[in-house]
Amino acid sequence: MFRGFYTVGSGMIAQQRRTEMLANNIANANTPGFKAEQSSIRSFPEMFMSSLNAQRIPTQKGIQLNGLSPVGELSTGVYMQETMPLFKQGTLRETGMTTDIALLDGSLPIDAETGEPGAIFFRLESANGNELYTKNGNFTMDAAGYLTNPMGYYVLDTNGQRIQLQNDDFSISDAGNILQDGATVATLGVSFAEQPGALLKQGNGLFASLDGNLPEAQNVAGVGYSFQQGFLEGSNVDAAKTMTDMLAAYRAFEANQKILQAYDRSMEKAVNEIGRVN
């Protein structure tokens, strides 16, 4: 009986966490470059139940041997193992701003280990000098003319250098070359992640690598991409599907709640009626 409380409780906690994750996806449905989270729910290892019994051997002294009779398997509950971003390309939204840049996926090599395609990102320099990565191309220019993201992190070129411009009157080619006054000032840096699921999410649409800086995409064979100025890549959240998943998670939570109430009534009856001494 008590084991049932733990099993049902773990199911409720897992569905609550899944609902929170889906709610965060809905809240960021209009955030540029946001990557929807996916959850992985797994069960705890199952227990194999056996009953202990004794068997008498017909000998002169009547020897008894203890044995086990299989009863069956018993589930011990579930848990949300991890959340993983979905790196599918989001839809484009036109803004007309010269500093808004969309990074479009082209040919992305498939990782032999995971069977999933890699992902490409803009390169950013954080406040501590480390590289961060994002698909949010909602850039701006600071007082010194450097191209930055909304948090003030510097946008880097293919050589890992900050990009400084004279003004916001510039154009970007499909290959990422920044042209100002007819001359190429810099080329937007793009990093390639062979296994994007291994990146560490930093919040605000930013990712970090745990194994040093990601390689420049230009130096990786088979990687193709392009840029589109005056556009932003939107969130890849499917609002309709996410709402359906939230309802399913709520119903699963509610079902576990009803089972928990049934266990509680059974325990109440066991204490107040079965255990009563007349």
What CATH number is given to the structural domain containing 9? 1.10.287
pLDDT score at 78: 80
What average pLDDT does range 53-80 have in this prediction? 65
Same domain, 109 and 155: yes
Same domain, 180 and 97: yes
Same domain, 135 and 14: no
* Rounded CA separation 265/8 (Å): 15
pLDDT score at 232: 95
* Rounded CA separation 218/228 (Å): 17
**Nearest partner of 245 among 1, 3, 42, 26, judged by Cα:** 26
Joined together, the tokens standing for residue 9 give 């409780």
In a domain, 201, yes or no: yes
pLDDT class of 209 with cuts at 50, 70, 90 = very high
Same domain, 43 and 112: no
Q: What is the DSSP letter of 145?
A: S
In a domain, 66, yes or no: no
In a domain, 28, yes or no: yes
In a domain, 170, yes or no: yes
Q: Which residues pair with 67 in a beta bridge?
A: 53
- Structural domain total, the chain: 2
Please give the residue range of the domain that contains residue 175: 92-233
The region of weakest confidence among 188-202, 238-252, 258-272 is 258-272
Kindly report the number of other CB atoms within 10 A of residue 186's CB atom.
22
Same domain, 148 and 218: yes
Same domain, 151 and 243: no
pLDDT score at 95: 93
Q: Tell me what the pLDDT averaged over the chain comes to.
A: 86
* Rounded CA separation 42/44 (Å): 7
pLDDT tens digits, residue range 19-30? 999 999 999 999
pLDDT class of 50 with cuts at 50, 70, 90 = low
pLDDT score at 83: 85
C-alpha triplet 236, 237, 238: angle, nearest 5° = 115
pLDDT score at 69: 66
pLDDT score at 268: 78
What pTM did the predictor assign?
Answer: 0.78
